[in-house]
Amino acid sequence: AQKVTQAQTEISVVEKEDVTLDCVYETRDTTYYLFWYKQPPSGELVFLIRRNSFDEQNEISGRYSWNFQKSTSSFNFTITASQVVDSAVYFCALSAPYSGAGSYQLTFGKGTKLSVIP
């Protein structure tokens, strides 16, 4: 069975601080994909990044960066110089082969609510 744990339920930071959102996953599959989604107050989940299990290279996109470490089964997300617009709920998710079906389930963590205070 797959599992995604986001231990931080809520985080508050002051604008311009850096913040890291933790994600730990469990799966028995050797091929899998990890995702981060952002859910702003409007409600719609927005895709941020995808990473496959064979690519441990870290990624940076503007103020966002992701650190994938298979040794610790973690896929952490860092926002540098946070802004008020970063306030949202962030979900980490895992996708792995799902037996008996032609599709694949996304297993979500419970989310981390980030509040950036001006």
Interface positions with another protein (CB under 8 A): 9, 32-33, 35, 37, 42-47, 50, 52, 91, 95-97, 101-106, 108-111
Element (H, E) at 67: strand 64-69
SS3 (DSSP) at 4: strand
CB of 51 to another protein, least distance (A): 11
CB of 14 to another protein, least distance (A): 25
Is the Cβ of residue 37 or residue 77 nearer to another protein in the bound state?
37
Is the Cβ of residue 9 or residue 118 nearer to another protein in the bound state?
9
Is the Cβ of residue 52 or residue 72 nearer to another protein in the bound state?
52
Is the Cβ of residue 19 or residue 96 nearer to another protein in the bound state?
96
CB of 48 to another protein, least distance (A): 9
SS3 (DSSP) at 55: coil
Q: What is the dihedral of CA 55, 25, 58, 82, to 10 degrees?
A: 150
Strands 10-14 and 112-117 come out as parallel
Q: Cβ–Cβ contacts within 10 Å for residue 67, how many?
A: 15
